Amino acid sequence: MQTSTKEAQASIALKDIVFATDFSPAAENALLYAADLARRFHAELHVVNAVEPANYSLPPETWHTADEARELETKKLRTFLQTSFPEIESEVQLWEGTVSQVLTSAIDRDSADLVVLGTHGRTGVGKLLLGSSAEEILRNAPCPVLTLGPHTETEQQWQLNEILYATDFSPASLSGARYAIALAQEYGAKLTLLHVVEGRKTDELVHESDLIASSARLLRKLVPEDVELRSELRCEVKQGVPADKILEVAQQIHAGLIVLGARRVSGVPGAASHLPIATVHKVIAHAPCPVLTVRHGNS
């Protein structure tokens, strides 16, 4: 079904953004992106910090000191938002529970349209994984998730001039493409659509050049004919390992955002995308820019 430019923009209207913070440098960097999106889309920004129950086996002065430090950080964050982003409605709250529990409650309470969080990579058995809390959020959040990995090049102002959208043409790509297109419209950014062809068998009937040409045509069909982009649209078909090619293209075009369509895969911890699990983790862990994961079914 054809979608007009205005409809494409309205389809990702962001009214409530939930931002998870642990008051770390990674969270501080991610806050700038959350606040810029809130300003652009006139959204309310709900900042939450998960407060683990006090360990009463420790001396009282230990957990009292932690509480005082947390309250101080909360006040500083409120002041920063009021001073630096006075035009957006924001709140900073301390909620008791694990990160996953707190975010789930905040998302439900505010009917969140987007979750933003900073994360860090940690070495697992032969592969780079997301921190467990971030991984769980990515798997289960009912709305898109914007993650800033350890290699994200942060700026005081988000210069979103280039957006990269990677797809394997699964149904999940429909949701992800809408977000990539609408954000390109909002920011006036150039949009690159990417499909990576993995290793093919020598006895396959379709010629390599035909496969690349047909993939390029499918990419162009992701953007409805009556949708006008303010900047250039590029369609790229690469061969190789998906994660490596996504990161390679992101570096080449100096992407300010990578968008991945996603679908929920039950029964497999960490399964969050139509791309292989390791691909999603590797992209987020090594990307030079934020990664927006849009799960199939997100409105």
Most confident range (mean pLDDT) of 4-18, 201-215, 221-235, 266-280 is: 221-235
Distance, in Å, from the CA atom of 225 to the CA atom of 42, rounded to the nearest integer, reads 28
Say which residue, 273 or 179, is predicted with more confidence: 179
Predicted pLDDT of residue 41: 92
Higher pLDDT, 276 or 36: 36
- CA distance readout (Å), 96 to 76, 100, 107, 132: 20, 11, 15, 18
Confidence of residue 57 (pLDDT cuts 50, 70, 90): low
* Tokens 């927006």, located at residue: 292
Provide mean pLDDT across the span 87-94: 93
Which of the residue ranges 48-57, 129-138, 156-165, 244-253 would you say has the lowest mean pLDDT?
129-138
Position 115 scores a pLDDT of 93
pLDDT at 11: 64
At which residue do the structure tokens 């991610």 appear?
30
- Of 4-8, 103-107, 273-277, the least confident: 4-8
Predicted local distance difference test score (pLDDT) of residue 253: 95
* Total count of residues recorded for the chain: 299
DSSP 115-164: EEEE--EEE-SSSEEE-HHHHHHHHH-SS-EEEE-TT----SS----EEE
The residues, ordered by sequence, that sit 6+ positions from 201 with a Cβ below 8 Å of its Cβ are none
Q: Which of 36, 48, 49, 46 is nearest to 87 (CA)?
A: 36
Please state the pTM of the whole predicted model: 0.83
Which residue type sits at 295? R
- Domains in the chain, please, with CATH? 5-295 (3.40.50.12370)
